[in-house]
């Protein structure tokens, strides 16, 4: 294939042209937004304008703290929240487990957080911050965050939702804190945000961003994030939801769509009979397709996916599962081309089995 097809948007998605232009504009605004001189004040005004634009694009009426990405935003929320305990779901991103070691872990059942188990954990001690991702980065499973927040509010706890994979693809859920990442939605890498319903929920550490983080703001990246959010949502994608669903249906007639619980339409975990995920990735890469075998933060390892294990996917199926994820510039022809290539490899593997 002379032109490669990129279907690993859950790892990172190409920057939108509007974001590239905004980052270039930001490079010309090189002053520190915290400096008191005219150049610094101009940079601060631009940053605050971008903050307002981002909140408007996301429909968020609370506060917004700029970070270096989702991982830092998760760390701030989990380590600076005014809560005595941390509870995380068993299928959270690796960044959550790294940010909150020793947390209580709530299991999932039938693809969703076990609400009875969560109730037991919430009742077992003082106020907690509960981390529940909105969309799983490996399977596309959607968690019922709105219902879970009602459960946490009832006992006076806080709910944090990692929306890295869902922002501008689904409506933001109801949560006390929300994490977004620019490079997952067409913005630049190295910038993200923690949305906070009330800054009083966090203990400040001094420094920038109202005293909640230490590093100087990345103004070019922030402008890129604002531009990416304003450039469009999933409604503007060239592929319709119906085609992405048809793709899953075509695959399921030969292989297995690993789909625990409610599903989004832009991330698809699929298991091919007779061929390991590693072997599939080599074949697809050689044919010009970029896909992955799970989260980009852990796909370079040989360990079994903790998320697939927690979702109840057996070890054999997990070893044959790859992830295909679509983005803002994925075309119908690209989805059809990958479907045909997947079926070709699957039929070849079946003949050799």
Q: Where are the beta strands (DSSP E) in 90-208?
A: 104-106, 108-109, 112-113, 128-131, 158-162, 177-181, 192-196
Residue 46 CA, chain-centre distance (Å), reads: 27
Are 308 and 321 in contact by the 8 Å Cβ rule? The answer is: yes
Q: Which strands form 321-325's sheet, in the order they lie side by side?
A: 256-257, 267-271, 321-325
- The Cα–Cα gap between 5 and 284 comes to 10
Of all helices (H) and strands (E), which one includes residue 256? strand 256-257
Are 134 and 173 in contact by the 8 Å Cβ rule? The answer is: yes
Looking at the chain, the number of H-run helices and the number of E-run strands are 12, 14
What would the two tokens of residue 4 be? 């490669």
Are 260 and 89 in contact by the 8 Å Cβ rule? The answer is: no
Q: Which residues contact 294 (CB under 8 A, 6 or more apart)?
A: 137, 138, 305, 307, 308, 321, 323
| Kind of pairing between the strands at 289-290 and 5-6 | parallel
Active site residue 264: no
Q: How far is CA 153 from CA 106, 117, 129, 132, in A?
A: 17, 16, 11, 14
**Which of the following is catalytic: 163, 264, 268, 297?**
297
Torsion angle defined by CA atoms of residues 309, 268, 296 and 285, in that order, rounded to the nearest 10 degrees = 120
Are 47 and 33 in contact by the 8 Å Cβ rule? The answer is: yes
- The Cα–Cα gap between 189 and 69 comes to 7
Supply the residues annotated as catalytic: 297
């Amino acid at each position: 294939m002379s032109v490669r097809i990129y279907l690993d948007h859950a790892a990172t998605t190409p920057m939108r042209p509007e974001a590239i232009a905004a980052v270039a504009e930001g490079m010309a605004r090189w002053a520190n937004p915290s400096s008191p001189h005219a150049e610094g004040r101009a940079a601060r005004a631009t940053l605050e304008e971008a903050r307002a634009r981002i909140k408007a694009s996301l429909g968020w009426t609370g506060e917004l703290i700029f970070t270096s990405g989702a991982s830092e935003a998760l760390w701030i929320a989990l380590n600076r929240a005014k809560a005595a305990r941390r509870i995380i779901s068993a299928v959270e991103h690796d960044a959550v487990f790294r940010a909150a070691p020793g947390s209580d872990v709530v299991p999932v059942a039938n693809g969703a957080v076990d609400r009875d188990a969560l109730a037991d954990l919430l009742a077992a001690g003082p106020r907690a911050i509960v981390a529940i991702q909105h969309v799983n980065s490996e399977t596309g499973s959607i968690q019922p965050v709105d219902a879970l927040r009602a459960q946490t509010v009832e006992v006076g706890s806080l709910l944090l939702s990692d929306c890295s994979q869902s922002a501008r693809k689904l409506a933001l859920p109801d949560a006390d804190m929300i994490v977004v990442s620019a490079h997952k939605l067409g913005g630049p890498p190295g910038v993200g945000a923690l949305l906070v319903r009330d800054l009083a929920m966090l203990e400040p550490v001094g420094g920038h961003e109202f005293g909640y983080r230490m590093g100087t703001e990345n103004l070019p990246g922030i402008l890129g994030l604002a531009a990416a959010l304003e450039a469009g949502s999933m409604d503007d994608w060239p592929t319709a939801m119906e085609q992405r669903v048809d793709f899953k249906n075509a695959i399921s007639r030969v292989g297995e769509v690993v789909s625990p619980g409610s599903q989004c339409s832009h991330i698809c975990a699929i298991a091919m009979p007779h061929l390991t995920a590693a072997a599939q990735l080599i074949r697809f890469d050689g044919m010009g397709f970029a896909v992955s075998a799970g989260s980009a933060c852990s796909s370079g390892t040989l360990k079994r996916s903790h998320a697939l294990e927690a979702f109840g996917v057996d070890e054999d199926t997990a070893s044959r599962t790859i992830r295909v994820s679509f983005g803002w510039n994925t075309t119908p022809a690209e989805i059809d081309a990958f479907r045909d290539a997947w079926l070709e490899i699957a039929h070849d593997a079946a003949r050799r089995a």
